Structure 1
């Protein structure tokens, strides 16, 4: 019995020794050097319609054991803007031992502008027929990075009375996921039904014009229809515009037309002059 016990103790000691040696070999042979990501530029400049290939421009990754890991680099999520059109983007890569490396660099969207409001038709309503719901249905917002922001539009103020003829204002704002907010005080017109018998169709209910750019309000007339359904020439429309493209701000263009029967129609287009170009 003592011999068996001695043998078991010897085997246990030998097993522990072998295990210790194998662990020492494993530790000594383990890859302890993390990979490194480098960039040849401090700021990556890309368009809003970027590709994944453009996100990787100027990057490389090296590992002492695995060598070139550049194709394994993964782009994370963009941060919120730290300046207009500028944010941070963090990249990560793993070596074969699952050791990570990361790099954060600035990304500048070269053609970025803040979200812009859209209108499916002008904010012009017949007396006692318009409503907040109808106005919001016409209103949308587009962002170059997030796409449609329609569901995120909020009305911040209004003095509109849809029951009474008059010129009013509806203030709205919207933000994108990068933290950039756009706001506008949009004109709203409530007119008598008699002033809507001639239909003046516009190519857009709202237009953005870059500061200093040329602007032709007549170019936005897409059709004119008399009260009896007769199609009229665009020259039948008189245009009143106070748009000053040298001064940023929100403006209106007034369109009015008469048909042969003396019926009239009018509508308005909102024009926002800013730093960005026409869209």
Structure 2
């Protein structure tokens, strides 16, 4: 038994010695240097259709043992806005020992503007025929970063009575995923059936322009239909514009047409003038 105990003790000592030697060897070969990331600038400008190459502009990553790691850099999706049109993006890189480095810088979207409402056709209804569902079917919202935001539109206020002719308004609000929200009070017209015997079709129900930008209301007419369904010369349409392109706000263009038999038609184009002074 004494011999067996002696042999076991020797084996234990040898195993422990081998373990110590192994740990010393691993410690000597272990990578203790962490990678680094640098950026040439703290802020870069990109477009809303940015590419990986654009976001990587000026970024460099390296490790003392492994060399250039720039191609292995990954980055987060842009954060919510820290100011309008400006986000944070975080870059990270790992070496083969799973040691990491990170860096955060600002990304400014040079072509950014707030979400805008869209209208497939004007908010004009014959008395007794309009309703809120029909309004929502015509209304949409687009964002340069998120695309369609129709499902995020919220109705805030409305004074519309679809049973009586008049000019009313509905206030809508929409927000994009970056935290930028806009609110707009859009005009709604309820008209008598007599004023809709003829039809004026427009390519859109709403147009956005920036301060100082002129529009030609006639270019939005796509067709005019007479009381009998016949095509009417678009030059027969009279146009009255209340748009002041020098002052931000919500305006309208009024289109009217009449024939020799007394039939008539009318519609309105909503024009939103936005402040274009952002850098």
Shared fold by TM > 0.5? yes
Task: Name which of structure 1's ranges 254-263 and 84-93 shifts more when overlaid on structure 2.
Answer: 254-263
User: 1:141-176 CA deviation, whole Å, 9 max, x = no partner?
Assistant: 000000000000000111011111111000001000
List gaps (5 residues or longer) in structure 2.
none
Query: Do structure 1's residue 265 and structure 2's residue 262 form an aligned pair?
Result: no
* Residue number in structure 2 paired with 1:153: 153
* Residue number in structure 2 paired with 1:30: 30
How far the C-alpha of 1:261 sits from its partner, in A, is: 2.5
How far the C-alpha of 1:276 sits from its partner, in A, is: 4.3
Q: Secondary structure at the match of 1:200?
A: strand
TM alignment of 1:5-154, pairs within 5 A? 5-154=5-154
List gaps (5 residues or longer) in structure 1.
none
Across the aligned residues of Structure 1 and Structure 2, the Cα RMSD in angstroms comes to 1.1
Q: Secondary structure at the match of 1:179?
A: coil
How far the C-alpha of 1:259 sits from its partner, in A, is: 2.3
How far the C-alpha of 1:109 sits from its partner, in A, is: 0.3
For normalisation by structure 2, the TM-score amounts to 0.97
Instruction: Find the aligned partners of 2:171 and 2:92 in 1 and give their Cα distance.
Output: 43
Instruction: Find the aligned partners of 2:140 and 2:99 in 1 and give their Cα distance.
Output: 46
Answer yes or no: is the 8 Å Cα contact 1:78–1:88 preserved in 2.
Answer: yes
For normalisation by structure 1, the TM-score amounts to 0.97
* Residue number in structure 2 paired with 1:174: 174
How far the C-alpha of 1:64 sits from its partner, in A, is: 1.1
User: 1:203-252 CA deviation, whole Å, 9 max, x = no partner?
Assistant: 21000011011122122111111111111111111111110000000001
Task: Name which of structure 1's ranges 149-158 and 93-102 shifts more when overlaid on structure 2.
Answer: 93-102
Instruction: Find the aligned partners of 1:96 and 1:196 in 2 and give their Cα distance.
Output: 73
Instruction: Find the aligned partners of 1:202 and 1:211 in 2 and give their Cα distance.
Output: 23
Instruction: Find the aligned partners of 2:93 and 2:13 in 1 and give their Cα distance.
Output: 43
